[in-house]
Structure 1
Amino acid sequence: MPIEIDPPQIENLWKLNLVGIVDETYSPEEKLAVENFESNIICIGSTILTNPFAVISDISKAFLRIGINFNSRDYCRFLWFENSNLNKIVTYRFKVVMFGATCSPFLLQKTIVYHLEHNSDPLASQLIPHFYVDNFYVTEVEINVLGINWNVTHDSLSIKSSQYVCKNECLHHHLTKRQVVSIVSSIFDPLVSTITFPRFAIIPGNCHLHIFADASKQAYGLAVYVVTLCSSNLLLSKARVAPRPKLSIPKLELTALNLGSKMAKSLMSNSALAFQSCTLRTDSEVVLHWVHHNKCTDVYVRNRVKDIHDGEFPSKYVPTKENPADLVTCGVSFKTSE
C-alpha cells in the first residue's frame, strides 16, 4: 500500500525557520542539478525534432516505485476519514513519493539518475541525458510526447483542439482552484486548433542556431530557428509572462535576450544536436547598445548584460517586422499560424 496509518508518536515536524529558506549547505553539485532540471526537457524536445529516428519508453507507476525513508514519513502526513466514516478522522502517512507534489518530478528524476550512475553497464551513463521524469509514454497508434500527439505511422506531430476545448468549457461556469491549476499547468498544450507538422523537420547538414528575442508589456519570449545552406526551420519557442512590478520595454527586451542566451547554452551544450554556431537577435537597439558597450550603471541591466557576455554568443539586430518572436509576445490566431 502507498500509505499507512500514522503512529501515535510523531517524531519529525517541519521547522518554521526552514520554510521558504534556501539551505546553504547544498553542495555545488546539488545546486547544479536543480538548475539543469528544466534545461534537460529543452534538449530532449530538440533532439526529437533533429534526428531521423526516435526511441521512447515509459516507467509505469513510476512515483509509486520510490519509497520514502521510514524516518521521513512524518513529513508526508494527511488527514482522512476512517473506513468512510465522516465522524472519525485518522492520520495517514505516505510510504511512497506523492504524485502531484511540486518536488516529486525532481525526486523521480534524481532517483533514476542515481541508479544509472551506479550501474556498471557502460550504456547506463549514456541514457542519463535522455531521461526527463516519465513524460514519454506509448499508445497503440499514436505516442504522446510532452503533451503533443506523435503519429508514428506518418511520423508527424499534431496539436488537437480537443486538448483545450474540454478545459475551455469550464470558463463559462464557476472556476474551481483545481480547474485553474489544470489549465495553467498545461505547459505543452498550446491553445490552438488542430495543427499537424512533420516531426523530423531539420535537414541534416551544417546547422546554425538563430535565437530571436522580443518583449511586450504582457510577455517576453523567443523563437529558435535552425538554419542551413538551403533551409530554415523553427525548432522551438518559449514565452513567459512579464514580471511585476512592471519593467520598461527595453528592460523586458533585455530580459528576453538573456533568456535566449540561457537557451543557447542549453542547446549548444547538447552534443547530440551538434550545431555549428549560435547567434542572438533582437529588434531593440537600446538593448544592443547595452550589450555592446556595457556602460549602463543600472544594476538590473548590468547583471543581465553580464549573463549574456558569459554565454559568448554574438548579439545582432533584426528589424521588428522580420522578428518571428513578435508572434510569441503579441499572440497569434490559429488562422495566422496555418
Structure 2
Amino acid sequence: MSQTLPESMTAIEISEPGGPEVLVPGIRPVPQPAAGEVLVKVAAAGVNRPDVLQRLGGYPPPPGASDIPGLEIAGEVVALGEGAASLSPGLSLGDQVTALVTGGGYAQYCAAPAVQCLPIPKGFDLTQAAALPETFFTVWVNVFQRSALQPGESFLVHGGTSGIGTTAIQLAKALGSRVFATAGSPEKVKACEDLGAERGINYRDEDFVAVVKEATGGKGVNVVLDMVGGDYIQRNIKAMAPEGRLSFIAFLGGAKAEVDFTSVMLKRLTITGSTLRARSVDFKAQVAAELREKAWPLLDSGRIAPVMAASFPLEEAAKAHALMESSSHIGKIVLKT
C-alpha cells in the first residue's frame, strides 16, 4: 500500500571520514519498506552525537542499516510494508509519526519499523517531534530501565544542556526524582535549573561531588547518567549513595581511567552502560510501548517538551554538525527537509 512516490530523493552522504564538510547532498533511490516497516516522508530529522561519530568513521552502521546518517525522524507515513499495520494497530497511510531508526534519517524519505513509530504529541509540530526519539529512548533505557530510578531518589546527569541532558532532567523531575545536572557556563546552569534541576553545577568552577554530597546530607545520589567518562568515572563513584547505579552512554572525556573499586564494593554500587543503535527491533518495540504509556502523556499535557536549539535545511547538515561539535547550543538540533 502506498501513494505514488518518486524514484529518487535527496539524502546527505558522508563522502569520507572527516569534518562537517564531508556531509554532502546526494541522490539516492527512495527506500522500499520491508515487511513490518513503514516508509516516512521525512519532514525533519534530529541531529545527535552518534551521527558525528559516524561521520568521523568511529561508529559504523550495524549490518543491514543505511549508511545515510540520522537516527530519528518525523513525517508522514506514505507506504506500508507487509504486515506493518498489524504490528502497530491504528497506524495507517497519511498518519504523522516520529520514529527511531538505525540510519537513513538525513533524507527526504526513510524506512522505519512500524513498532518504533510513535504518534506526534498534542500541540507539537514535526520539527519538535523529530527531536524526541533518540534522546527519549536512550534516557528511558539507561535511567529508568537499567538504573531503575525511583520517585524520591536523587539523580545526577552530566551534560545537562545536551539533548540527552535536557530530556533526562525533565523526565526525572516529572516522575518524582530530585535532579542535579552539570553544565559548563552560568547560562547553561540556569537552563538546567529552569528545566527542573534542583541544582545546576558549573563543572568549570565547582566540584560536583562536593555539591551533591552537601545537597543530599552526605549520602550522595542514587543514579548517575554519564556521557563524559575519563576522570569523571572515579568522581561519579565518590558522588554516589549506597546501592547507587551508574550508567554510561558515551565517553566524550575518554573510555579509560584508573579506578579504585573499593567504594564499589563497600557501597554495593552497580555500574552499567549501553548503546541503542544495534539493539533488536523487538527490544526497541518494548521501549516504545513504555514511552507511549509513561512519557507521551507528559508530552501531550505540556509538562515536558524538547528544548530546541536550532534547525537547518537538510542541505546544510554540515552547519548543524559544526554547531553540535561547538557544544555552544542548549538542547536539540534538527534538520528540515
TM bucket normalised to smaller = under 0.3
Greater relative contact order (CA < 8 Å, ≥ 6 in sequence) = 2
TM-score normalized by structure 2? 0.24
- In our comparison, the structure showing a higher alpha carbon Rg is 1
Structure with the larger strand share: 2
Structure with the larger helix share: 1
